[in-house]
Chain A
Amino acid sequence: MEPRQNLKLWNWLKLLGLYALILAALVIFYLAQDFLTPFLIAFILVYVLNPLADKIESWGIKRTWAVAIIFIGFIVVIGLISSLGYESIKNEIILLKTQIPSYFERIKHSLVDLAIKLEASFPGLKKGTLENMVGQKLGDIPTLLGENMPYILKTILGLVTSTLIVLFLTFFILKDGRTFKKNIIRIVPNKYFESFLCLLFEINKSVGSYVRGQIIDCTIVAILSIIGLSLIGLKGAIIIGIICGITNIIPYLGPVMGMLPGIFIALVEHKSGAMAGSVVAVMMSVQLIDNVAISPLAVGQSVNIHPIAVILSVTIGGALMGLWGMLLAVPIYCALKVTFQILYKGIIEYGSWEKA
């Protein structure tokens, strides 16, 4: 049985190749996290925009034109938002930019005061040690900022290029994604092809609905936070609201992280504990509305994950890959869950995952 022997070997080689490819992708992903950020953002955008592109395509418009229409619409919307909100956002940025050095000064002063007080109450400590330490560690913030100006400029320049790269990638993945996918899954051995295709479809469905739901959810949370924070009169409400929306993508831990900048501004800029209290109250009520009304509708029952699993995966993701790990933890968990469900079903119902 010469040809059969060859066949088996060939199939094994193909399968090994596939595993090697996946492993290499994961290693590259882990090593080059920073480079891959635009890719990740592009993928998230593709997930969000794909149903829209499909919808436009269903009206009988070619894919390329459908994607072009979405892009033009996207740019118009961004343009409208920035032209409408430009003044207030600019004011907030200027406010933060001019205030941040003085915030640091103020924090430094209060720390120095605290140090003096501590030294007074603990006679064992040498006079001036703590004070000097605080002074040395924090240094002179405005000069620090000035020294780092080239670096900041570079970052801004990098941001512009990354934005362009993200837009470029999104356009082409949205337009040619199906062909890419077809060419990649071509190497899957015949034996596993059917199962692999079905698996990919299910994963796509589950992860896609999660990501889309989460993005809608976050937008609404951002809007609600901006409204709430403006009502209590917090300075920089728009930017802090947007930060809240972004951090809300991370389940459970995100909202707490989003609360911190608001509390910081309330304590340092408004210098009132009452303000900080109302910031917390606003955020809590936004979270309450989100959890009771918005999240069930936006994310829905499509992704049925136990809270413990969510917290575990977010913690593990955070430990492995920081912020990105936290963001990606739940989608990856979804994909793994679907995979095991399908494998399990295959084994139990048909008992034939490794037959023939």
Chain B
Amino acid sequence: MVKLTETFFERLRKIFGVQNSEIVKILEKVPIFSDLNLVELNKIEIITHEREYMDGEQVFHENEPGAGMYIIRTGSIKLIKKIENKEIEVATMKQGDFFGEIALLDEAPRSATALAAGKTSILGFYRPDFLDLLKRDPALGSKVLLQLSQMIAKRLRATTEATLKGAGNGTETES
């Protein structure tokens, strides 16, 4: 019985053009899209760009203006930061991870360089498309915006706490 209803819904989805595609499956794991239903995820899929990178190819460069966030489909990405003329690897991102989300909000310079490690396929979700979405579909746009703000609020809180703790101890902490 359960299977029957499931196939029925599968059919309905196909009729209305809503698909549970591979990209949708990646998108639904990203926190800023976690509130969205299948139809809305499909709308997001339409405005994402699939980009292919070769080994060592640069996704974006530190201090360049950012234009959007990236979600890794396959492969991995290294984030590198230049501190006092030394290149330090900050993080390595794997499939399903995302980075560069702050660039959705403003054109501030990137805080690190992103390089592809091995053949990598990523999904780009860019500010122009996001702004367009906010205008075209305010309900969906504000859902994404709310999640994005909550994520940043959480980070800000963590940073503030770390700073306060550091001030109390009289020692400098890295944040």
B64 is an interface residue with CB less than 8 A from chain A: yes
Contact B58 A356, beta carbon cutoff 8 Å: yes
Contact B56 A3, beta carbon cutoff 8 Å: yes
B55 is an interface residue with CB less than 8 A from chain A: yes
B96 is an interface residue with CB less than 8 A from chain A: no
Given that A178-B46, A193-B51, A193-B124 are contacting pairs, would A4 and B67 also be in contact in the complex, using a CB cutoff of 8 Å?
no
Contact B138 A58, beta carbon cutoff 8 Å: yes
Residues of B within 8 A of A4 (CB): 56
A16 to chain B, nearest CB (A): 18
A191 is an interface residue with CB less than 8 A from chain B: yes
Contact A197 B126, beta carbon cutoff 8 Å: yes
Complex interface bits, B124-142 against A, C-beta within 8 A gives 1, otherwise 0: 1011110110011111000
Interface-central residue, B61, B64, B68, B124, by most chain A CB under 10 Å:
B64
Bin the interface of chain B by size: 20 to 34
A199 to chain B, nearest CB (A): 9
Given that A3-B54, A198-B67, A355-B64 are contacting pairs, would A58 and B136 also be in contact in the complex, using a CB cutoff of 8 Å?
yes
Report 13 cross-chain contacts, Cβ distance below 8 Å, ordered by A residue. A3-B55, A10-B54, A57-B137, A186-B50, A191-B58, A194-B60, A194-B67, A197-B128, A198-B126, A346-B65, A349-B65, A350-B65, A356-B58
Given that A194-B126, A352-B64 are contacting pairs, would A58 and B54 also be in contact in the complex, using a CB cutoff of 8 Å?
no
Interface residues of A (CB under 8 A from B): 3-4, 6-7, 10, 54, 57-58, 60, 178-179, 182, 185-186, 190-191, 193-195, 197-198, 200-201, 346, 349-350, 352, 355-356
A205 to chain B, nearest CB (A): 9
A242 to B22, CA, bound (A): 54
A179 to B68, CA, bound (A): 19
Our pick among B53, B65, B66, B68 for the contact of A190 (Cβ within 8 Å) is: B53
Residues of B within 8 A of A179 (CB): 46
Which residue of chain B has its CB nearest to the CB of A342?
A: B65
A352 to B109, CA, bound (A): 11
Residues of B within 8 A of A349 (CB): 65
Contact A57 B56, beta carbon cutoff 8 Å: no
Interface residues of B (CB under 8 A from A): 46-47, 49-61, 63-68, 109, 124, 126-129, 131-132, 135-139
Contact B64 A190, beta carbon cutoff 8 Å: no
Our pick among B53, B67, B127, B129 for the contact of A195 (Cβ within 8 Å) is: B67
Our pick among B47, B63, B124, B139 for the contact of A350 (Cβ within 8 Å) is: B63
A6 to B65, CA, bound (A): 27
Residues of B within 8 A of A352 (CB): 61, 63-64
A184 to B58, CA, bound (A): 22
Residues of B within 8 A of A197 (CB): 49, 67-68, 126, 128-129
Interface-central residue, A4, A54, A57, A201, by most chain B CB under 10 Å:
A201
A70 to chain B, nearest CB (A): 15
Our pick among A6, A7, A201, A356 for the contact of B61 (Cβ within 8 Å) is: A356
A191 to B51, CA, bound (A): 11
A6 to B57, CA, bound (A): 11
Interface-central residue, A182, A194, A355, by most chain B CB under 10 Å:
A194
A6 to chain B, nearest CB (A): 8
Contact B136 A54, beta carbon cutoff 8 Å: yes
A195 to B128, CA, bound (A): 11
Interface-central residue, B52, B57, B135, by most chain A CB under 10 Å:
B57
Interface-central residue, B53, B132, B138, by most chain A CB under 10 Å:
B132
A159 to B139, CA, bound (A): 43
Contact A200 B46, beta carbon cutoff 8 Å: no
